[in-house]
A and B are shown apart, each in its own frame.
Chain A
């Protein structure tokens, strides 16, 4: 499996500001995804980070609020823009490392975001 590093591991931000979260993988991976886990809740898929093209967003998530970059096969960023307290969550980067379809996801340790 891949080693996935997320930075920062946690942050406290003021409303109206933006935070960029970085995800670095120690090997080239096929797919990269960003999930959100609100306090005490399950994981919700925000978007699929596509290498060299625009991310594919899930219903309820838009590029203006959550811009994503993926410049290569080992790195991606997620920005949480114009934050409000409702954005307080854990944000998780995940990857699939196998070439087969529907491979298991492996997760980074997440970024715990608190918006005040």
Chain B
């Protein structure tokens, strides 16, 4: 069965620090997709990235970067030079088939000014 674990329940960092959010997943499938979503205090869910199981290249988008390692079943998310606007709950998610996406419990990130 598929499972997503975000061990960090809550993280606080001072603005401009770098922060990494951990995500570990379990799946029996060889083909699967991983996602990150952001939920700011306003409540809407914002899609950040999708990565398929055959593509282990790291990705960078501005201050955001993602490190996908199949050997450790991890898909970690790093925010560089964090800003107060990055404060949100971040969800890692996994999809095996049928477009059904299963979410981790989320990590609440506080960026302190």
B103's partner among A30, A43, A110 (CB-CB below 8 A) is: A43
**Complex: chain A residue closest to B42, CB-CB:** A109
Instruction: Name the segment of B16-24, B43-51, B58-66, B78-86 touching the other chain.
Output: B43-51
Chain A residues, Cβ within 8 Å of B75: none
**Per-residue CB proximity of B15-37 to A under 8 Å, as 1/0?**
00000000000000000110100
Say if the beta carbon of B14 comes within 8 Å of chain A: no
> How far in angstroms is the closest Cβ of chain A from B47?
5
User: Which of B44, B52, B100 lies in contact with A107, CB distance below 8 A?
Assistant: B44
B contact residues, total (Cβ < 8 Å) = 21
Q: Is the interface of A mostly helix, strand, loop or mixed?
A: strand
Partner of B47, one of A30, A33, A106, A110: A106
Q: How far is the CA of A102 from the CA of B106 in the complex (A)?
A: 20
Is A45 part of the contact surface with B, judged by Cβ < 8 Å? yes
Closest to B104 in A: A42
Query: Bound complex: CA of A1 vs CA of B47, how far in Å?
Result: 10
Tell yes or no: A76 within 8 A of B by CB. no
30 A–B contacts from the bound complex (CB under 8 Å): A30-B99, A31-B99, A33-B99, A33-B100, A33-B101, A41-B105, A42-B104, A42-B105, A43-B45, A45-B102, A48-B98, A48-B99, A90-B43, A92-B45, A94-B45, A102-B33, A102-B50, A102-B52, A102-B95, A103-B99, A104-B35, A104-B47, A104-B50, A105-B35, A105-B101, A107-B44, A107-B45, A109-B44, A110-B44, A112-B43
